[in-house]
Amino acid sequence: MGSQLLLEKMREILHIQAGQCGNQIGGKFWEVMCDEHGIDPTGKYNGNSHLQLERVNVYYNEANGGRYVPRAVLMDLEPGTMDSLRTGPYGQIFRPDNFVFGQNGAGNNWAKGHYTEGAELIDSVLDVVRKEAENCDCLQGFQICHSLGGGTGSGMGTLLISKIREEYPDRMMMTFSVFPSPKVSDTVVEPYNATLSVHQLVENADECMVLDNEALYDICFRTLKLTNPSFQFNCKFSDDLTYYVAKLSI
């Protein structure tokens, strides 16, 4: 009975998005989440059913003035993607202090993200994670959206996962990891970044949703008949991600 009550209390999920890919997909994920919960770009509820607010506390924190703020941490080693998110349609809904970014980037290098540039920024990210965790009544766990092909999502993303696992060993750790493909590739080092990341995921994650970049593009081209899948690709992925995490909110 006691364990059942504990499971019922364990509600909030902290969403973390890392690197360019993670933040682009994460941005679309929050647009879909806001639409489902009836929350507008200012954080106000404008829905048409009380059911939309029934589980809103899982992914949102209710702030002053009735605003709903995503339980989200956004990180990158360069400011470009952060600037795009902040100036986007839902940029004002996030807590400004939860944008954590560097200036130099990882240069598609796993070691830079894991040991040098990322290691210098990781304490700032962990401070935001702790602050968000303290705002939860009973934290259910963490979900991280990232790619394993770049330097930040793979190197710094797995560094953060290991640090969170040390600090919150009894909380759920779930990842949405986009794996690189030879046919859909930006750089030749993507397989190395992915290989170095997989060991970290096996050691520290409870559940990994493995997403094959090539398969996702094939779906866009062959099934959805898209000629330029970049924007719609993120939307499609975010729809699927939202459908999956809805099961965690029940």
- The yes-or-no verdict on residue 236 having pLDDT over 60 is no
- The yes-or-no verdict on residue 229 having pLDDT over 60 is yes
Report residue 243's pLDDT band, with 50, 70 and 90 as the boundaries: low
What number is the average pLDDT over the span 45-67?
92
CA dihedral in degrees (184, 188, 192, 193; nearest 10)? -70
pLDDT in tens, 171-225: 999 999 999 988 777 789 999 999 999 999 999 999 999 888 788 778 777 887 7
The superfamily CATH assigns to domain 12-36+53-249 is Tubulin/FtsZ, GTPase domain (3.40.50.1440)
- The yes-or-no verdict on residue 151 having pLDDT over 80 is yes
Q: Is the pTM of this model over 0.85?
A: yes
Task: Report the chain's mean pLDDT, rounded to a whole number.
Answer: 88
Show me where the domains of the chain are located.
12-36+53-249
pLDDT score recorded for residue 219: 78
Name which residue leads in pLDDT, 125 or 188.
125
